[in-house]
Chains A and B, each alone.
Chain A
Amino acid sequence: MISKSNPLIETKDLVKKFGSFTALNGVSLKVYPGEVHALLGDNGAGKSTLIKALSGVHQPTSGKILVEGNETKFNSPRDASEVGIGTVYQDLALNSLTSVTRNFFLGRELKFGKGPFGILKMQKMHNIAIEEMAKIGIKIEDPEQPVGTMSGGQRQTLAIARAIYFGAKVLILDEPTSALGQKQQMEVLKTIKKVQQLGNIAIILITHNEIHARLIADRYTFISLGEVIGSGTSKDLEGDDIRRLMAGGAEVGDLAKELA
């Protein structure tokens, strides 16, 4: 049962070691449905390791991952996507040369008959792709349009719509606004807002950009050197706090003094 007060996904003291290197040193985190949870931190802070643990790419050394209150172990990305964790990586996993529909259903095509030689239900897939993308705010005129001809924001939407359609309850977005122009960044943020308004999906947003985080995030977790150095809701945190925590806890004021 999904309720606003219970976290959809939760980590408890997650530790991940690569040999002698400790990438994550006891990270705890709660993500609620209908919320955008911004995961902030500098390069190398351990954000990527954390989301890879959540999406089944890495197996944690110790600690727990709970999905809807039940402890879960992921041996592969497939396990994670089966319990409803959809990850949209930076490269979006799209094939630019083929159509929107072919990308939307890549690897999970609807078809007549069993086996890989089943004939595709093209029209049905076209309709679903258009519909699902319209739900989160992008109208596609031509589902046969190659993905390469779409804007960066539209591609992001396609990847998000795909993850949601295939049952993602937790959506992990890995720096969705990086490498985009200003206008397209806003488009992506609008899309995320739309997903948030659907109400039943928890969003983990990894970003570098505090402005974007402040525009849409409901809750923040700051990571530095593999540890959580601060967290809170958007009401709890002031702008300066966010900036300070993002820089790994260093006082921006100190920096200003140094530069002066």
Chain B
Amino acid sequence: MSSSKTSRKESDRHNPKNSLISMISRPEIGPIGVMILLFGMLGYFSIPASETTWNPFAGEGFNALGIRNNLRVISQLGIIALGAGLLIIAGEFDLSIGSMIGFAGACMAMTLRWGFSIVLPYISFDGGAHLEFYTLLHIPDVSPILAIFITLCFTITFGWIQGFIIVRSGLPSFIVTLGGLFFLRGLTEVSLRSFNHRPDQAKGATTVTEIPDIKNIINLPGYGEMEREAAKYLPETDLISILKNLPSDVITKITERLEYTSQRVAEAKTDLLIAKGVKPLEKALENAIASDNEFMIKTIQDKIENFKIDPVTPKTVTDVDIARAYIDTIGSARPVADFFGGNILEPIFDWLYFPVDWNVNNFGNQFAPGLYSCVMIWVILSLVCYIVLSKTQVGNWIYSTGGNLSAAQANGVPTNKVKISLFMFSAFCATLFATCQVFEVNTSDAAKGNLKELEAIAAAVIGGIVMTGGFGTILGIIVGAFIFGLAKEAFFYIPGIDGSFYRVFLGFVIIASALLNENIRKRIMGNI
């Protein structure tokens, strides 16, 4: 018998950590690669066909309007992906997110439009038995914050109910929230039709319109509260009279800005006219070169060099223009509505107005006044979720609830509370989504949020969340939302290809990500 005495220890079997390798083996690295690829695609394919450039950021996908619109899609998805993702990490699903968005939007729009009341139905026997309603409470004018609060009461309660049923009964969350999906969508349609039923209609509508543009209500000195657009189209004498009360430095600043704008617009128009005039000459030059006519070449070259055109005179800035520009600078009188539905980073977009010729059309108007507020809400929510999941006790509880439920329970983790809270959080995220939407567009539709629950789950999976729970990061969810949103946009820009190919692409990405995630999970579990 021979035995070799070795001093090898168990820990020797693990290769020492190498910072490069540990960076590559992070679960987010695959998705980040796909994200960068999509960034490139979106940029490159959104360059107009006539221009030739290798700089992908020259494309329409990355001009001010492109960034504004792309980030809106991404951040809206990102908000609900956070709710769905955290829930999956804790080992449960929520399929009711999409319907919850529709429900929350309808609830908010209805309270904003018709007010809020609590009624008590009872049977009255006066003149035959019939149902009558006793109004306990009626608030005809609901402020944005109250509308959000009322909606949250409903949605979070519903999230709690779903979580409670799942935790208590042990039923799979798939089936309970599937019930929630149908229930909420149906409830939304039914209540919209019954509230939104004008006498002249046979059936009620499932769309709420005619909500004022709340985020753009401003307090105009001397006129009180009114919508920004209405204020801009006041009689011109009124507009000019507004200017009288303004300090002179404000007026100077606005005037300078408007003069600069019209100057730049005039220059741009001049350039355009020159280009239009020179183009036929250049074509003629090409022909002349082709036919080797030296005299012609010389003549045409002279003509191009001496091509002159009267520069376009800049539009003069009138007092009415100044007043309208001033109205644009007045802050909203409804900060809550503005917080959810307004714009952010407006000064930056103002500053980037001309220097890069990137955010202005030929009338001197900005393409994009700023980013949608939902981007900011997504960023805030992501930060909060990151801190909670990675840095707090609750984060450890969420991981362990999804990773090994019985171990978590044995160590005293209140797993039921964790799960129910996350169902409530996912309802909260859906409500945030709806809030942003309602205050942005001032309408609501019962069909809003359709299929969003699946998009949210897909984004989470693409970002490295394992469906069996216990594994995943917030950074991953963010990247997943980016990939989903970018794919939706990038494929739209590819010429000669059906826009719906983005779904084909995403199908591949989802399956590939799920395989990758499972591989990583098994490696960590020690099954490989």
Q: Which residues of A contact B (CB under 8 A)?
A: 77-78, 89, 91-98, 102, 105-109, 111, 116-120, 122, 138-142, 145-146, 148-151, 153-154, 187
Contacts and interface: CB of A to CB of B under 8 A. Distances in A.
B392 A117 contact: yes
Interface in B1-24: 9-11, 14, 16-17
A98 B394 contact: no
Given A91-B406, A119-B391, A120-B392, A140 B11 contact: yes
B128 interface: no
Contacts of A139: 9, 11
Given A96-B525, A139-B11, A106 B400 contact: yes
Contacts, number: 102
Contact of B406 (A93, A107, A145): A93
Contacts of A89: 410
A117 B412 contact: no
Contacts of A95: 399-400, 403-404, 407-408, 470
Contacts of A93: 404, 406-407, 410-411
B388 interface: yes
Nearest to B393: A109
A151 to B, nearest CB: 5
Contacts of A111: 392-393
Interface residues of B, number: 33
B397 interface: yes
Leading 10 A-B pairs by shortest Cβ distance: A107-B411, A95-B403, A93-B410, A93-B407, A107-B412, A148-B525, A97-B403, A95-B404, A106-B411, A97-B470
A97 B412 contact: no
B399 A97 contact: yes
B394 A116 contact: yes
Nearest to B521: A97
Interface string B14-44: 1011000000000000000000000000000
Nearest to A154: B10
Nearest to B11: A141
Given A96-B526, A106-B407, A151-B10, 11 more contacts: A95-B403, A97-B404, A106-B400, A107-B400, A111-B393, A116-B393, A116-B397, A117-B388, A119-B387, A141-B11, A146-B524
B416 to A, nearest CB: 14
B514 interface: no
Contacts of B16: 141
Contacts of B9: 139
Nearest to B391: A119
B395 to A, nearest CB: 8
B396 A98 contact: yes
B109 interface: no
Contacts of A151: 10
Contacts of B17: 142
A116 B387 CA distance: 12
A66 B523 CA distance: 46
B471 interface: yes
